[in-house]
Amino acid sequence: MNRVSAERYEPGDPHGRFRYGPWRGGPDPLAAPYDVRAAIDKIGSDVLSAGNVRDSLRELLREGLDGRGGLDRLAEKIRKMRNAARRRGDLGGTLDQVRSALDQALAAEREALAGEEGDDARFAEMELDTLPDDVAGAVRGLDAYDWHSPEARQTYEQIKQMLQREVLDAQFAGMKQALESPDPEAMQRVKDMLADLNQLLAKHARSEDTSDAFREFMDKHGEFFPEQPETVEELIDALARRQAAAQRMMNSLSPEQREQLGQLMAQAMADADLASEMAQLGDNLRALRPGLDRGSDAGMRGGGEGLGYSEAVQAVAELADLEALEAQLSQSGWGSTLDDVDVDLLEQRLGNEAARDFQALRDLERELEAQGYLTRGDDGMRLTPRAVRRLGQSALKRVFDQLAASGNGDHADHRTGAADEPTGLTRPWVFGDELPIDASRTVANSLRRRALRSSTGSGSGGGGMLLDVEDFEVTETERRTTAVVALCVDLSFSMVQDGRWGPMKQTALALNHLIETRFRQDALQVIGFNRLARRLTPVQLAEAEPEWIQGTNLQHALLLATRHLRRHPDAEPVVLVVTDGEPTAHLTGDGGAAFRWPSTPETIRATVAQVDELARYGATLNTFMLGDDPGLARFVDAIARRAGGRVFTPDIGRLGEYVVSDYLQARRGRR
C-alpha cells in the first residue's frame, strides 16, 4: 500500500483544503521492518520439509529476512567483543602495582636509614631485612613499622588508600573518584551509605514496600551510583553483578595470586565498621540474587597491561554481560523467546544500530502472532489455520503454474446446463463457448470501445451501436457436482529419507486449499498412515513431524477412507493414495497393528479386501507411486486392475500437479 502525503493549497486557505499525493519524504515511516507473508512462507517451507515451527522460527530469526541481519550477525559481534575482552589485560595487575609502590617505599626508607647513626637505624634495617618475601606479607609486616622517611611513609599510606579505593570501586562504580582525597569525612559518607543500603536491602528482603525508602536513599546517596537505577531491583542487579564479577575475577587468578590479593583486600578493610558493613552487603546480595554465577573462572587470558583490582572486576563484569547476551541470543533454552534478551544491555554493548535490528526481529515475531499466523501454547509456537491456508494457497499457485506450463489439466469447467450456477466472474468469449452471454458487460465493452475511437478521431461517434467479437463476455458457471475425497498420504520414515516429505505435505495442502476455496461443497479428509492410520486436519498435517516408526498400514488408511466416503453417499467418491512402499502392516483383531517386513500374505490379503470394499462402493481409487520399489509396483498394478483405478509414477517435483489434476477429473466422473 502506497503511503500518501498531504499539502495545503495555501497557508491562508480558510477552507482547510489539502492535496494528497504519494509519499516523497524518504523511507516509508509506516513500512513494516519485514515482510510478514514472506516470513510465514519461509517458516512454512521449513515446516513442510520435516521441520517444526519452533526450530523454523528460530532459524528465520537467526538468518534474518529482506537482506537484514538476524541473531547470528549480532551473536558474531558479541563473540568478537568477548574474545577481545578476554585479552584485555592481566587480572593480577594490582599485585604488580602494590609491589612496585612497595619497592619504591622500601628504597626510600633504606636510603634514609643509611644516612642515620645509632642503634635505632640499624635495628630498623634488620626489621626491613626480615620482611616476608610475598607482597601481602610485606604490607602486613609494615603496618606497625615506625618509618624514618616521610616520603616512604606517604607512599605506604597511599598503598593502603589505593587498596581501599579499589575494593570499594569494584563494588560501587565511581567510588574511586569519591575517595580521591584522604578526607575522613568522605570515608564517613561511604560508611553511612553502606549502613543505609543494608537497611534498604533488608527491608526489601522482608517483602516490604521500599518505593519511598529507595527514593530517599537515592536522593541522599545518588552520587555513589552513576548507573542511576530507577528501582530497588535495578540497584540490586547492578550491585550483585559487580559482586559476582569480583568473585569470578578472584577465581581466575592463580592460587598464589588469589591468596596474596585476598590478604591485601582484607588489610584494606582494616576499619572494623567498614569491614562489617561490606560483609553484610555481601550476604544481602547473595541472598537476594542466589542464581548469579559466582563460582566459575572468567576465562581471561594472561598477559598484556596489568589491570587494577576495580578495572579487573569491571573487565570480568563486561565479559559476563557479553556471555549473557550470547546465551540470550542463542535462543537455545526450551520456551525461550526474544523477550528474554536484555535490550538495554544489548544497546549498551553493541550500540543503537544493533538494538534497532534486534527490535525489528522482535517486532516480526510479535507481528506473526498479532496477524494470526502463529499462536503460542504450552508446547511452544504453532501454526494457525490462517497460516496453513497461506501455505496451501502458495502450494496451489505453484501447482497451477506447473499446469499452465505443461498445458495439461485445465481446471475450468465450461459445460453449461441446469446443474450449473454462476460463480460471479466473467471472461472474454472464445470460440466454442456455450456459457451464457453477460449482456451488460458486453454492451459496456462496446460503448467503451466506441468512446475510445471517438476521442482519438479514428471512428465516427454517431449512428447506432455495433458489437465486435471482442466485446462479448460470458458468465462463468460451476457445476454443482459434489465429490467426497479421501487423500491417504504415507508418513513412513522413508518419505523423509528420500526427500518426499515436503512435496507430499505441499500437495495435500494445495488440494485442501483448492477444495476450501473453489469446491466448498466437496468433502476432503486427509489420512496419514505409517504403522497405523489417523485423520489429520490441515494444521496437524502441516505440523506433522517424521516418526521413526516402521510399517506401512495402507489397509487401515483405506478403512478410514471408506468410512469417510459413506458419510457422504450422494457425492462422487474419490480416493487418492500417495505412497512409496508396499503394505507391511495391517490391523489385528484387538485394534493393534501387525508389522512384518517384507510384506506377508496376511497383510496383502487384508489390504486387498479393503480395496475390494471401495470397488464395490464405486469409488475411484488412484495411486501415486513414488520411487521405483518393484514390490510396490506389482502391488499397485494389481489393485488398479481390481478397482478400475489408475497408477501414476510422477516425478516428485510434479506430484502436486498430478494429484490436483486427477482430483479435478475424478470429481467430474471421468474415471
Pairing between β-strand 585-587 and β-strand 593-595 as defined by DSSP bridges = antiparallel
Residues contacting residue 251 through CB under 8 Å, at least 6 positions apart: 258, 295, 296, 297, 298
* pLDDT, mean of residues 416-440: 71
Domain check: are 134 and 272 in the same one? yes
- Asked whether residue 7 carries a pLDDT value surpassing 60, the answer given is no
Low-confidence winner among 170-174, 465-469, 620-624 (lowest mean pLDDT): 170-174
* pLDDT, mean of residues 15-39: 68
| Structural domain includes residue 591 | yes
Domain check: are 149 and 222 in the same one? yes
Residues contacting residue 421 through CB under 8 Å, at least 6 positions apart: 477, 478, 480
Q: pLDDT grade, residue 11 (50/70/90)?
A: low
- Asked whether residue 5 carries a pLDDT value surpassing 90, the answer given is no
- The grid coordinates listed for 342 are 536484555
Cβ atoms of 435 and 416 within 8 Å: the answer is yes
Low-confidence winner among 82-86, 216-220, 458-462 (lowest mean pLDDT): 458-462
Low-confidence winner among 23-27, 221-225, 378-382 (lowest mean pLDDT): 23-27
Name the amino acid, one letter, at 294.
Answer: R
Q: Is the pTM of this model over 0.85?
A: no
Domain check: are 333 and 195 in the same one? no
- Confidence (pLDDT) at 183: 65
Q: pLDDT grade, residue 411 (50/70/90)?
A: very low
| Structural domain includes residue 14 | no
- Asked whether residue 314 carries a pLDDT value surpassing 80, the answer given is no
Domain check: are 55 and 110 in the same one? no
- Confidence (pLDDT) at 531: 93
In CATH, what number is assigned to the domain containing residue 523?
A: 3.40.50.410
* pLDDT, mean of residues 220-242: 86
Mean per-residue pLDDT of the chain:
81
Residues contacting residue 516 through CB under 8 Å, at least 6 positions apart: 389, 392
Low-confidence winner among 206-210, 298-302, 367-371, 586-590 (lowest mean pLDDT): 298-302
| Structural domain includes residue 393 | no
Domain check: are 526 and 539 in the same one? yes
The torsion region of residue 172 among left (phi > 0), alpha (psi -120 to 50) and beta comes to beta
Q: For the chain, what percent of residues have pLDDT higher than 90?
A: 17
Domain check: are 555 and 653 in the same one? yes
By residue range, what is the domain housing residue 468?
420-478
Which residue, 367, 383, 399, sits at the end of a domain?
A: 383
Domain check: are 221 and 333 in the same one? no
| Structural domain includes residue 236 | yes
CA gap 133, 145 in Å, rounded? 16
- Confidence (pLDDT) at 418: 32
Cβ atoms of 313 and 89 within 8 Å: the answer is no
When mean pLDDT is compared over 15-19, 424-428, 541-545, the highest value belongs to 541-545
- Asked whether residue 454 carries a pLDDT value surpassing 80, the answer given is no
Domain count, the chain: 4
List the one residue out of 323, 251, 256, 262 whose CA is nearest residue 294: 251
* pLDDT, mean of residues 300-311: 68
| Structural domain includes residue 402 | no
Which residue, 440, 457, 478, sits at the end of a domain?
A: 478
| Structural domain includes residue 206 | yes
Sheet containing strand 483-490, edge to edge, reads 533-536, 523-529, 483-490, 572-579, 620-625, 647-648
Domain check: are 132 and 147 in the same one? yes
| Structural domain includes residue 184 | yes
pLDDT in tens, 95-107: 788 888 889 999 9
Low-confidence winner among 409-418, 505-514, 627-636, 644-653 (lowest mean pLDDT): 409-418
Residue showing cell 609491589: 99
Residue showing cell 490391523: 587
Domain check: are 274 and 339 in the same one? no
List the one residue out of 3, 8, 6 whose CA is nearest residue 29: 3
Which residue, 436, 458, 478, sits at the end of a domain?
A: 478
| Structural domain includes residue 224 | yes
Q: pLDDT grade, residue 600 (50/70/90)?
A: very high
- Can you state the angle between helices 501-517 and 655-666, rounded to 10 degrees? 30
Residues contacting residue 600 through CB under 8 Å, at least 6 positions apart: none
- Confidence (pLDDT) at 353: 83
Neighbours of 78 (CB within 10 A): 25
- Asked whether residue 530 carries a pLDDT value surpassing 90, the answer given is yes
Q: pLDDT grade, residue 334 (50/70/90)?
A: low
Domain check: are 71 and 111 in the same one? no
Domain check: are 170 and 208 in the same one? yes
Backbone angles phi, psi at 31, to 5 degrees: -70, 140
- Confidence (pLDDT) at 412: 36
CA gap 232, 215 in Å, rounded? 9
Domain check: are 168 and 38 in the same one? no
In the three-class reduction of DSSP (H, G, I as helix; E, B as strand; rest coil), residue 572 is classed as: strand
